[in-house]
């Protein structure tokens, strides 16, 4: 009985991993892992993993050649990515770039509800986490 429960649990984990990496069907990979073996299905999933990298700002997968994230529209230059992989936080990197840059990089306002950086739309700011919309007047006191 415990073997069946652990087999099912690891099959579900393989399905979740496959969905995250490949954006494929969770149920298909879970069934495949359950029928074959969770270890074998996990190995197949790793071998078929696409050539993608994670955006350090929204943590979604984008193409390796991408210079801009198609989800959060952040610039993905190599120096920033190397600093982030070395362990620096995104906010500290942006602060250093603001200090050392000759061009003024405006501070990105944060969502008052969930403290996530806001994305600028045409006439307002939008939070990608809670989907809140804020005007410039809403954020003046923040």
Q: Is the pLDDT of residue 38 over 60?
A: yes
Residue 1 pLDDT class (50, 70, 90 cuts):
confident
Q: Per-residue pLDDT for 142 more than 60?
A: no
Strand, coil or helix: what is 3? helix
Average pLDDT over residues 39-68: 76
Q: Mean of the pLDDT values across residues 43-49?
A: 74
Q: Mean of the per-residue pLDDT values for the chain?
A: 76
Q: What is the pLDDT of residues 88-103, one digit of tens each?
A: 777 777 777 777 765 5
Q: Mean pLDDT throughout 77-90? A: 74
User: pLDDT of 13-25, one tens digit each?
Assistant: 888 877 776 556 7
**pLDDT grade for 37, boundaries at 50, 70 and 90:** confident
- Its pTM surpasses 0.75: no
What confidence score (pLDDT) does residue 46 get?
73
SS (H, E, C) 26-85: HHHHHHHHHHCCHHHHHHHHHHCCCCEEECCCCCCEEECCCCECCCCCCECCHHHHHHHH
124-138 pLDDT, tens digit per residue, is 888 877 888 888 777
């Amino acid at each position: 009985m415990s073997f069946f429960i652990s087999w099912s649990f690891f099959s579900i984990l393989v399905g979740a991993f496959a969905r995250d990496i490949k954006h494929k069907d969770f149920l298909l990979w879970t069934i495949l892992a359950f029928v074959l073996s969770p270890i074998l299905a996990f190995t197949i999933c790793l071998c078929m993993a696409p050539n993608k990298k994670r955006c350090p700002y929204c943590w979604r997968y984008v193409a390796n050649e991408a210079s801009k994230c198609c989800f959060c529209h952040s610039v993905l230059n190599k120096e920033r990515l190397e600093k982030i992989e070395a362990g620096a936080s995104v906010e500290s990197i942006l602060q250093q770039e603001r200090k050392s840059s000759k061009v003024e990089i405006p501070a990105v306002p944060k969502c008052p509800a969930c403290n996530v950086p806001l994305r600028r739309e045409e006439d307002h700011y939008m939070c990608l986490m809670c989907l809140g919309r804020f005007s410039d007047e809403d954020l003046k006191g923040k």
